[in-house]
Structure 1
């Protein structure tokens, strides 16, 4: 395959105005699927979480998941949408191997939530309002595994396997209105929107929003129109982009590719495209259908949904503090700089630090533990911070033991290691490993005398007023006590013994 020509990005934004449309699919964290009682747990053995309904077998009938409807309404409210007084499902007809029914139960012209907006903040503080066209309910498809090829995609594969465990998992599709006027910042806006939306959904506790596991996927629609014109160009849709960085890269690449095609006199093909993570490029997929191609018609096996207005208002009362407002409050309460707050958010540690502070730890100490030592342990294990087998309450207890002098920072790290190794709570680890700080003066004095005797030249310097030399003796005592001595008390004993 030949490498397509690309236009320099600065020239792209000088000659064209980018037009975006972002479609985000969110898998809900319900216990069961959208229209049946099959479990939704990620990672099950292939085709073990299926039944006649989600496989579309003759005679099976769907039943709407009430929790999914509730989640859809809460998402719509959080996105400042209007909630429909009456809506219904439709059949979206198309053939694809991982669609066992050959149609997807979705919503078409009557979504449950519509006409909303979400403000997103860019890195320099600029706020961009992204208008939301709709948020509608549907079911996920199954998953195809292409075997034998170099890329894991169907091109070049020897054969394909189908896993229908994901078929029927509840989805909310959130579709923006056309996004214009972003110029050179279009890729950044796309990334910031998906990031802000992910934070909001996580705060709502309706999804685990794991992009790496497909719980949140973005389809990025991109087109270009020559500067000074108002007629939209032909769009492409880059499907299932599964990381924030990739969203930005995919939009930027499509802008440079499309600009080169248009500048050479070519035309853009309306199609779906796939983002290649390794190369940062997109590759053509199938011709993009229009809504007429899907032959939508009302789902005859499901009754319409008419959310009562008092129920909608009751759900409005369950919405959490918006993530942006919460970050501003936390930044003020914890006296964080913009950089410190950004590092905390990027590390995925904000909720963990907040819970640790709620358990009694000072904010600075809680933040330090989670974004440094514990983040390092998570990285070593290849897991998210939230997946570490230690709780905020346990971290707060370790901090308390350091604060009251029972542990040194070095010993505290050993205690955390013990908790991570499933040796029990911090106090149990301290007792089992014998890690408590030695603060008994008689034991410390003996260790100090022994260290001074071993280094008489250092003792002379201390007696002559060179107090900085005491550090060598402190180090010797700490080594002799396996790091369990109270360093401050050791230093004072050294000065006392030397008459300094």
Structure 2
């Protein structure tokens, strides 16, 4: 039997605050273990938490970007469970009164758009990190991460395939990065996703038994884990078995999911309001002030790039996936009003060098002004398009201006008619058979002659001028 796949996703986005959710400890990644801790985030007796205002603002801005309703009255709760990386024996989170509710985002589902509903987005603190070193008798705990502010974003079970989940996660991650509330780094754990998956027979309204997937740190592994889990559950159900409600992790080496623990229900955590934190009231004026700080989001910007600049949807999608890249593109177009040309260079030469260097466009040594200077050298005939592409890696690596590289390498394009005619005459004399072919109607032979002239000139001949002069000579 072919079963219907039902998937919802929980995302934990680490907020880009300088300090933790309820104390003044820093949130920098990768520092020595247990150097960013204090009595509050270590859960010492008598230590009192204080809400991080910036984290609340980031949560509200995210909720607005996700089309959520913002609760004017919300409060924090204690989620009770025991685990070595949880110093207090409970996690401060939100339960009955989350800060954001009932939102949605749109994703591409094949050739159509699909709306994925957001059930809630709530603030909470992160736990520490258990470290299991091989060859030792025990494990250690690093509490640097304990207390780091998280925004947990919970979708409704609206997705029906691994591809839809990946599209949803990419769209959500792009929004968070546009808002500059999360850096989206999956490897460092600042953007963590936990798909919840169940299967049911077609036509059945009741949901099947849900399995949660953890330990997934890339979009590729998200797809792989979901596809594997669909096959696993399908096999169990087809053989008359019962799927158990549990949490499973993705084993990268084996390429399969494995049992991590039985899945807890909300009542297992014994939520109750945190007595150390008073209810949080968010005034409507504060919400409206934050609404004005929400930037143009990726989907809107993509549509504008198509309509305003006449770009293909593919180009617009690539350029707007990153706010910094979209800003770079628009800065170039502001200096050089040929959007498609700029798009080709940004998506081609620039992204190739950035990918090779493992760098973001914000670290590009070729700013908009230098890229535009190179394009203008092509427009005014100083260099050919081929030469411009050939010298781009040096432009990226050296920090030199385009004009300086062209001058040092003697790459100035030959446009002098007399010099070009001398080369053309010699080439036509060397290839009488091809001349006869062209004059008999095989005009495609022109490309052969252009190639010969470019070769003779060391790539410096002006291709437009060469074409013009060749046609004149061959017509005679």
Q: TM-score range by the shorter chain?
A: 0.7 to 0.9
Aligned match for 1:190, one of 148, 157, 165: 165
Aligned match for 1:118, one of 89, 105, 114: 105
1:295 aligns with 2:270: yes
Q: Distance in 1 between matches of 2:366 and 2:212?
A: 42
1:260 aligns with 2:235: yes
Match of 1:377 in 2: 353
Query: In the superposition, relative to structure 1, how do residues 68 and 487 fare at CA in structure 2: closer, same or farther (>3 Å)?
Result: same
Match of 2:453 in 1: 474
Alignment of structure 1 residues 130-209 onto 2, 5 Å: 130-148=116-134, 160-179=139-158, 185-209=160-184
Q: Distance in 1 between matches of 2:456 and 2:90?
A: 74
Q: Contact 1:463–1:499 (CA<8 Å) still a contact in 2?
A: no
Query: In the superposition, relative to structure 1, how do residues 229 and 446 fare at CA in structure 2: closer, same or farther (>3 Å)?
Result: closer
Q: For residue 331 of structure 1, report the CA deviation from its aligned partner.
A: 1.6
Query: In the superposition, relative to structure 1, how do residues 351 and 247 fare at CA in structure 2: closer, same or farther (>3 Å)?
Result: farther
Q: Distance in 1 between matches of 2:327 and 2:110?
A: 21
Q: Contact 1:27–1:216 (CA<8 Å) still a contact in 2?
A: yes
Structure 1 range deviating more: 51-60 or 237-246: 51-60
Q: Contact 1:462–1:495 (CA<8 Å) still a contact in 2?
A: no
Q: For residue 430 of structure 1, report the CA deviation from its aligned partner.
A: 5.2
Output the TM-score relative to the length of structure 2: 0.84
RMSD, matched Cα: 3.6
- Consecutive unaligned residues of structure 1, counting only runs of 5 or more, are 1-10, 150-156
Aligned match for 1:458, one of 406, 426, 430: 430
Instruction: Provide the aligned length of Structure 1 versus Structure 2.
Output: 468
Alignment of structure 1 residues 63-102 onto 2, 5 Å: 63-102=50-89
TM-superposition CA deviations, 1:218-263 (whole Å, max 9, x none): 1111122333333322211102433333333333322221232233
TM-superposition CA deviations, 1:302-327 (whole Å, max 9, x none): 33321110110121222223422322
Query: In the superposition, relative to structure 1, how do residues 489 and 104 fare at CA in structure 2: closer, same or farther (>3 Å)?
Result: same
Output the TM-score relative to the length of structure 1: 0.80
Determine helix, strand or coil for the equivalent of 1:12.
coil
Match of 1:418 in 2: 394
Aligned match for 2:19, one of 16, 32, 42: 32
TM-superposition CA deviations, 1:318-365 (whole Å, max 9, x none): 222342232222122333344444555679955543343234352111
Q: Contact 2:21–2:149 (CA<8 Å) still a contact in 1?
A: yes
Q: Contact 1:135–1:173 (CA<8 Å) still a contact in 2?
A: yes
Q: Distance in 2 between matches of 1:427 and 1:60?
A: 63
Q: For residue 274 of structure 1, report the CA deviation from its aligned partner.
A: 0.8
Q: For residue 210 of structure 1, report the CA deviation from its aligned partner.
A: 2.5
Structure 1 range deviating more: 161-170 or 104-113: 161-170
Q: For residue 39 of structure 1, report the CA deviation from its aligned partner.
A: 3.3
Q: Distance in 2 between matches of 1:462 and 1:208?
A: 60
- Consecutive unaligned residues of structure 2, counting only runs of 5 or more, are 440-444
Query: In the superposition, relative to structure 1, how do residues 225 and 397 fare at CA in structure 2: closer, same or farther (>3 Å)?
Result: same
Structure 1 range deviating more: 84-93 or 400-409: 400-409
1:55 aligns with 2:48: no
